Amino acid sequence: MTMASPQTGIFALGTSSHAYLEFDVEAASDGASVVSRVAALREPRTTIGGVNLVAGFRPELWAAVAPDAAPPGISGFNEPLVGPTGYALPATQHDVVIWLTGASYDVVFDLSRGVVSELAGAASLAGELVGWPYHHDRDLTGFIDGTENPTIVEATAVAVVPAGSPGEGGSILLLQQWEHDAAAWEGLAAASQEWVMGRRKVDSAELDPKPPTSHVARTDQDAFGKIFRRNIGYGSVGRHGTIFVGFSADQAILVAMLRSMIGIGGGPPDHLTEFTRPLTGAYYFVPSAERLAALGAVRRV
Ligand code: HEM
> Could you write out the DSSP letters of every residue in the chain?
-PPP---GGGG----SEEEEEEEEE-TTS-HHHHHHHHHHHTSGGGPPTT-EEEEEE-HHHHHHH-GGGS-TT-----S-EE-TTS-EE-----SEEEEEEESSHHHHHHHHHHHHHHHTTTEEEEEEEEEE-BTTTB-TTSSB--TTSPPHHHHHHHHSPPTTSTTTT-EEEEEEEEEE-HHHHHTS-HHHHHHHHTB-TTT-PBPSSPPTTSHHHHT-HHHH---EE--EEEE-SSSEEEEEEEEES-HHHHHHHHHHHTTTTSSPPPGGGGTEEES--EEEEE--HHHHHHHHHHH--
Residue of the CA atom closest to atom 6 of ligand 1: 145
Among 92, 204, 221, 69, CA closest to 154: 221
CA distance 167 to 181: 38
- Those residues with Cβ within 8 angstroms of residue 131's Cβ, 6 or more apart along the chain or in another chain: 17, 18, 19, 20, 232, 233, 234, 243
At residue 45, the pLDDT reads: 46
Residue minimizing CA distance to atom 33 of ligand 1: 219
Which of 87, 158, 195, 229 maximizes ligand 1 atoms within 8 Å of its Cβ, making it the mutation to test the pocket? 229
Find all residues with CB under 8 Å of 76, minimum gap 6, and list them.
Answer: 58, 59, 60, 91, 93, 282, 283
- pLDDT given for residue 266 in this prediction: 93
Active-site residue list: 145
pLDDT of residue 299: 43
* Contact present, 115 and 98 (Cβ < 8 Å): yes
| Mean pLDDT for all residues in the chain | 94
Kindly report the backbone phi and psi dihedral angles of residue 270, in degrees, each rounded to the nearest multiple of 5, phi listed first. Answer: -70, 120
Of residues 146 and 50, more confidence is placed in 146
Give the mean model confidence (pLDDT) for residues 110-127. Answer: 96
- How far does the centroid of ligand 1 lie from the alpha carbon of residue 251, in Å? 16
pLDDT at 137: 96
When pLDDT is averaged across residues 267-272 and rounded to a whole number, the result is 98
Rounded to 10 degrees, the C-alpha dihedral 25/178/211/136 comes to 100
Average pLDDT over residues 119-142: 97
What residues are in contact with ligand 1 under a 6 Å CB criterion? 139, 141, 143-148, 174, 176, 178, 197, 199, 204, 215-216, 219-221, 227, 242, 244, 246, 254, 257-258, 276
**Which pLDDT value is given to residue 50?**
77
* Distance from the alpha carbon of residue 223 to the mean position of ligand 1, in angstroms: 14
Instruction: Write out pLDDT tens, residues 203-221.
Output: 999 999 999 999 999 999 9
Ligand 1 centroid–CA 50 distance in Å is: 28
- Average pLDDT for 129-144: 98
* Average pLDDT value for residue range 78-87: 98
Amino acid at position 128, single letter: E
Give the pLDDT score at 49: 64
Please compute the mean of the pLDDT values over residues 123-139 and round it to a whole number.
97
Domain boundaries, the chain: 8-299
d(CA 159, ligand 1 centre) in Å: 16
Whether the model clears a pTM of 0.85, i.e. scores above it, the answer is yes
Ligand 1 atom, smallest distance to 254 CA = 30
* CATH code of the domain occupying 8-299: 3.30.70.3420
Which residue of 141, 216, 260, 283 sits with most ligand 1 atoms within 8 Å of its CB, as the best mutation to test the pocket?
216
pLDDT at 269 over 50: yes
Closest atom of ligand 1 relative to the 144 alpha carbon: 10
CA of 145 to the centre of ligand 1 (A): 7
pLDDT of residue 46 exceeding 70: no
149 has a pLDDT exceeding 80: yes
The closest residue, in CA terms, to atom 8 on ligand 1 is: 145
CA of 215 to the centre of ligand 1 (A): 6
Lowest mean pLDDT among 23-32, 99-108, 194-203: 99-108
